[in-house]
Copies of this chain bind each other. A is one copy, B any other.
Amino acid sequence: MAYFDAASGAPLHPVARQALLASLDEGWADPARLYKEGRRARLLLDAAREAAADAVGCRPDELTFTSSGSRAVHTGIAGALAGRRRVGRHLIVSAVEHSSVLHSAEVHEAGGGTVTQVPVDRGGAVAVASYEAALRPDTALACLQSANHEVGTEQPVAKVARVCREADVPLLVDAAQSLGWGPVAGDWSLLAASAHKWGGPSGVGLLVVRKGVRFAAQGPVDERESGRAAGFENIPAIVAAVASLRAVRAEAAVQAVRLRELTELIRARVPRLVQDVEVVGDPARRLPGIVTFSCLYVDGETLLHELDREGFSVSSGSSCTSSTLTPSHVLKAMGVLSEGNVRVSLPPGTPEEEVERFLSVLPGAVAAVREKLGAPAATTPARPGGEALVVDALGKRCPIPVIELAKVIGDVPVGGTVRVLSDDEAARLDIPAWCQMRGQEYVGEEPADAGSAYLVRRLS
């Protein structure tokens, strides 16, 4: 088995495992107690906090341990917004943030706040100027991820931090995907991260609030973790998380070079091995281990099953994955193809042979899915004659509407149009993406009796 989903969660690092075992014996007691077991637990917790602060680049008293990365984000956003309530209730987020940020933004909006979503380019990156333009006198907080979790694109955090600082607006950085690779550069104000992304155990997040940042923790709190994370501290897991962070940091430079080579290999080879593939994400400013591509005429969930059968555990932001029927908000914001989406995120130490084997089985897996779905061959010769065509794909799920479109495009004369009727949310993203990949013109969307009509003009 090859586990290629490190961006979801990494298996426990051997160093973390060792630290966890040792601190199960030493760190189980209440660190608030004055007796021996409590003092021992307190020492472990203090040492872990210092080491974590050192890795982040902050003061120990600026760092609190939370019960997860999501919780760190929720607590950080709510506390920063409340702390600056007098300034205003405007929140800025990028369109490609992790769901924990976007859920917080939804809650803020439902409570009467306003939210600006900063768009991204086709590579998934925000423009510094867009953040600058979004800043207002009533902006309480801006949020930006250090790097995207679905496509690996790195964001210009240091520059965005500078424009925020100039406007006296705190910037919260979701560093979940990048903290294992190195500290976040720039003059940010708050930072959130998640230990199981860097090989620590589940159940540990970090929240850093720089001195001087107005912060008012929301909801019931207690005296633990500076009143920012209620409940008994999970010291063995915290110790293991920090041990793992130090261990992956020590290997980071070497692993970054290795993984970058491997993902470069995938980026370069996949489009040659598989027809009708779009590799997404910024080709240069990206995390070492993540590479994402989408395959036309493919149902992502079925492809994941095929790859799982071949022994590869990968993830998908495709509209067709089981948990949700809407396309990934990240791919949508980037305006790229969402169907047949595959995210490969390599854990440190991945052997090259596994990547080679992945590349050798991928074409067959994609072909198998396309065959099942009756996808058209890559090129269909144009037939003469024909007129404005209507493809009724109502009730059909991604990637069927695009497959139906591809099947008939050859019947349309150059200059002629096709109307695709679809009530599938993914079609809105994937039909324009197909046009771009195929060099056809996407004319636009019109309301229809049921769903929408997507107009495509044949150019070649």
Contact = CB atoms under 8 A, between A and B. Distances in A.
B12 A24 contact: yes
A235 interface: yes
Contacts of A221: 103
A234 interface: yes
A222 B103 contact: yes
Nearest to A27: B202
A197 to B, nearest CB: 9
Interface string A54-81: 0000000000000111110010001000
Nearest to A71: B231
Contacts of A230: 68, 70-71, 74, 100, 103
A162 interface: no
Given A33-B313, A35-B313, A313-B36, A220 B74 contact: yes
Nearest to A106: B220
A443 interface: no
B67 A231 contact: yes
Interface string A25-65: 00011101111111000000000000000000000000000
A356 interface: no
A314 interface: yes
Nearest to A307: B35
A219 interface: yes
Interface string A1-13: 1010100110110
A344 to B, nearest CB: 12
B30 A8 contact: yes
A144 B74 CA distance: 29
A214 interface: no
A379 interface: no
Task: Give this chain's copy count.
Answer: 2
A20 B107 CA distance: 35
Interface string A301-342: 100110110001111000001111000000000000000000
B1 A30 contact: no
A24 B18 CA distance: 12
A9 B34 contact: no
Contact of A315 (B33, B99, B236): B33
Contacts of A323: 32, 223
A288 interface: no
Interface string A98-132: 01100110110000000000000000000000000
A258 interface: no
A225 to B, nearest CB: 11
Interface in A132-147: none
B69 A37 contact: no
A202 B35 contact: no
Contacts of A223: 323-324
A74 B37 CA distance: 28
Nearest to A4: B35
B3 A37 contact: yes
A308 B315 CA distance: 52
B231 A68 contact: yes
A205 interface: yes
Nearest to A104: B220
Given A103-B220, A194-B232, A67 B203 contact: yes
A201 interface: yes
Contact of A237 (B29, B202, B232): B202
Given A70-B220, A202-B235, 14 more contacts: A9-B28, A11-B28, A34-B301, A34-B305, A34-B308, A36-B308, A67-B71, A67-B234, A68-B232, A100-B230, A104-B220, A201-B236, A202-B237, A219-B219
11 contacts: A5-B37, A21-B21, A29-B313, A33-B315, A35-B312, A38-B313, A71-B230, A71-B231, A100-B231, A203-B237, A237-B237
What 3 pairs across the A-B complex have the smallest Cβ distances? A68-B231, A67-B67, A35-B313
